Amino acid sequence: MMRNKILITGASSGLGEEMARRFAAQGRDLALCARRGARLEALRDELRSAHPGVTVAIRELDVTDHEAVVRVFGELRDELGGLDRVIVNAGLGKGARIGTGRADANLATARTNFVGALSQCEAALQIFREQNFGHLVLVSSISADRGLPGPKAAYSASKAGVSALGEALTAELVKSPIAVTTLLPGYIATEMSGKAGDSDSMTASLDEGVTAMVDAIDKESRRVALPGTKWKAIDLALRFLPHAWTSRFV
């Protein structure tokens, strides 16, 4: 099914920004949300210039503010004349070793990545249940497969929550007109991944990563580790092989 009205959170940079470019190039109408309003405005102007027939609506949004999430999703639905797909993409990658005095960073990551994702799911599914169709996409991470040590602990735990949420909603809605997709990206070159210190040899280009994401989203796959067979294999290894065999991956 062609989903022509797409809402993307975390759209001011990285994966969200590039997904917006790809979907606009396909002629889809977009509702873009992020905390950084100036970057959203620049992206809107770019997309309108490159694709004059595409509607691009924007809103500043902090996904940890549940009431704002519900209000903004409703406003954007009305502005676009409906929503076919919501991509829950907003996230933080900061963190610190637990117990070293930087609880603020870990709590912010947990609130944004998991509680914020839950708020977005609540708002999106309220809309989809009312209209009796829609496609919910959750952007998790390969780190959801295995708790990561050190400064990535809170991040991996938050993404495990997102994956579990996607699994639960897939099971609940499998026989309904509402589709659910959970994406587990490996290392993809973004501003966030650069700060996280991900391995250069394992990191896919932004083009490769987002191409795989958009393809999986449009196929409405239920659960996909990506990009490529390498990350599918790592996903299986991290979930099913003994820790002693997979410690080098984490």
Q: State the sign of the Cα–Cα–Cα–Cα dihedral 30, 39, 156, 234.
A: positive
Query: Under a CB-based contact definition with an 8 Å cutoff, are residues 249 and 234 in contact?
Result: yes
The residues, any chain, with a CB within 8 Å of residue 109's CB and separated by 6 or more, are: 92, 93, 94, 95, 154, 155, 158
Q: What are 87's two structure tokens?
A: 């991509």
146: helix, strand or coil = coil
- CA pseudo-torsion sign 223, 225, 226, 229: negative
Question: d(Cα 130, Cα 22) in Å, to the nearest integer?
Answer: 28
Say whether 187 is catalytic: no
Catalytic residue among 155, 179, 186, 231: 155
Q: How many CB atoms lie within 10 A of CB 94?
A: 17
Partner residues linked to 166 by β-bridges: none
Handedness of CA 240, 242, 246, 250 (dihedral sign): positive
For residue 235 the two structure tokens come to 């996903």
* E-strand stretches of 89-234: 134-139, 178-185, 223-226
**Catalytic residue IDs:** 155
